[in-house]
């Protein structure tokens, strides 16, 4: 089955800096790669996703890049704000989602 590795496990940045979270996956058949944000005590919520026929996708301050050859994808957050502080999960699938271990992002004012 699919295996997803996510790094780093924790990330601390100053407000206004950029943050990058990286994931690798094992199953070359995976074709859908979503990113979820989970605030403390809340449910995971989709923030951006990308399909395997696209190399990059951007939505305001967040972007995701995908390298199918290397089987890795990344989340980029620019101009970080304190409200970006949360746990971020990557996932990969050709069917049922397999999640990475999560990254705790802390943005210091």
Partner 1 sequence: DAGITQSPRHKVTETGTPVTLRCHQTENHRYMYWYRQDPGHGLRLIHYSYGVKDTDKGEVSDGYSVSRSKTEDFLLTLESATSSQTSVYFCAISEWDRGNGYTFGSGTRLTVV
Please spell the DSSP secondary structure of 15-32, one letter per residue: TT--EEEEEEES-TT--E
- Residue from 34, 64, 75, 84 touching partner 1 (CB under 8 A): that is 34
Q: Is the Cβ of residue 6 or residue 85 nearer to partner 1 in the bound state?
A: 6
Alpha-carbon distances, residue 78 vs 1, 5, 34, 60, 96 (angstroms): 33, 23, 18, 9, 30
Give the separation between CA 62 and CA 75, rounded to whole angstroms: 7
Give the separation between CA 104 and CA 38, rounded to whole angstroms: 9
- Residue from 80, 85, 102, 105 touching partner 1 (CB under 8 A): that is 102
Residue 107 lies near partner 1 (rule: CB under 8 A): no
Give the separation between CA 94 and CA 32, rounded to whole angstroms: 6
Residue list 41-80, contact with partner 1 (CB under 8 A): 42-46, 49
Residue list 78-97, contact with partner 1 (CB under 8 A): 89, 91, 93-97
Minimum CB separation from partner 1 for residue 42, in Å? 8
Q: Which residues bind partner 1 (CB under 8 A)?
A: 1, 4, 6, 9, 32, 34, 42-46, 49, 89, 91, 93-102
């Amino acid at each position: 089955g699919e295996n997803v590795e996510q790094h780093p496990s924790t990330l601390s940045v100053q407000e206004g800096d950029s943050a990058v979270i990286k994931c690798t996956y094992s199953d070359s058949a995976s074709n859908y790669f979503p990113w979820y944000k989970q605030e403390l005590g809340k449910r995971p919520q989709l923030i951006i996703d990308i399909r395997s026929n696209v190399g990059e996708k951007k939505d305001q301050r967040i972007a995701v890049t995908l390298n199918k050859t290397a089987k890795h994808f990344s989340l980029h957050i620019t101009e970080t704000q304190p409200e970006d502080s949360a746990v971020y999960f990557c996932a990969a699938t050709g069917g049922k989602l397999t999640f990475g271990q999560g990254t705790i992002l802390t943005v210091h004012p």
